[in-house]
Structure 1
């Protein structure tokens, strides 16, 4: 689907030109729907271009750890602790609503859609090709371009296995494990292991 398919206006009106990323974040973090084609929707699309530019630089050539963190800090608009490790390639179409704690490891190929809010707490481990989504769309085709935000939280010491998908509004509890290729549709209690699509609790991390 292209921007033309979504009928995104050119943003030349006064309302659009006065809207900012901060206005967009305030709306998203309040959990309010952003209407397709609105001034805030246009801000989101412009912010996506910034994210695509930064990720193209990140993924286009070799960078040492410090340089990767610097580019990730540009994406998020927040400083990163030196203990954070990210292995490119990495993809996001926003970045400005992601918060990353200390000693976080993000492996290659991850895709984060963070407009709805993404918090990754200290010590979290995120495997290859994990997809995290924080936006949904109405089922009604007449309003399908609207976006509905719902934050995702990854708890302290949680481990997300390769190729897992975390859907909007989900909290992964501290120390929990999401098995590879699982699709997580609801909250994961702390200290549990979840498996499957949809992911279900199989056992505790202590083996019980």
Structure 2
């Protein structure tokens, strides 16, 4: 992860005509080339991990599986744990930072968004970013959207097509738009047959 840039953009506006935005656009342009190469044609799991290593500038554990196509706009602000499965057509808008802990499952067409535009119409093309954190053993359902600043708790489940605007507590299931807690997960330490 590009920690120097991450520190410079945290909790402050990034204006469209700024030098910082030009720097971001350069990284984004190189990332787009890598993502397009990765998503064109067939690549085995090892080749996908090699592309992800180039995109994120980090080692990707051999237990990480990402189904293609996979989309990211910036790429350098993603951190993957171990034993992760990401289904196809997932979108990471990661300028604000996306952390995926161990044993996370992410369903097809899910979107993790860390970027928002500025409210003032005169500055609307500028950006404001907040990180997304998906904690250990969480499951993000198909088509779910996780918005900037959200942490999804350990073992939590985000139902398909939910829009998550607030943190999700550990061991809870959320559903709807905006997502609301619908119940607590019954924890059974023994596998069901």
| TM surpasses 0.5 | yes
Structure-1-length-normalised TM-score: 0.87
SS at match of 2:99: strand
Q: Distance in 1 between matches of 2:51 and 2:11?
A: 28
Could you list the structure 1 runs, at least 4 aligned residues long, displaced by more than 6 angstroms after superposition: none
Q: Distance in 2 between matches of 1:22 and 1:116?
A: 11
What is the 5 A alignment of 1:98-177? 98-177=78-157
Contact 1:192–1:205, Cα closer than 8 Å, also in 2: yes
> Could you list the runs of 5+ residues in structure 2 that have no partner in the other structure?
188-193
Aligned to 2:16: 36
> Could you list the runs of 5+ residues in structure 1 that have no partner in the other structure?
1-20
Aligned to 1:78: 58
Aligned residue-pair number: 186
Contact 1:27–1:34, Cα closer than 8 Å, also in 2: no
Structure-2-length-normalised TM-score: 0.93
Q: Post-superposition shift, 1:22?
A: 6.1
Residue 93 in structure 1 maps to residue 73 in structure 2: yes
Aligned to 1:5: none
Q: Distance in 2 between matches of 1:27 and 1:147?
A: 13
What is the 5 A alignment of 1:194-205? 194-205=174-185
Q: Post-superposition shift, 1:25?
A: 2.7
Residue 191 in structure 1 maps to residue 191 in structure 2: no
Q: Post-superposition shift, 1:185?
A: 0.2
SS at match of 1:46: helix
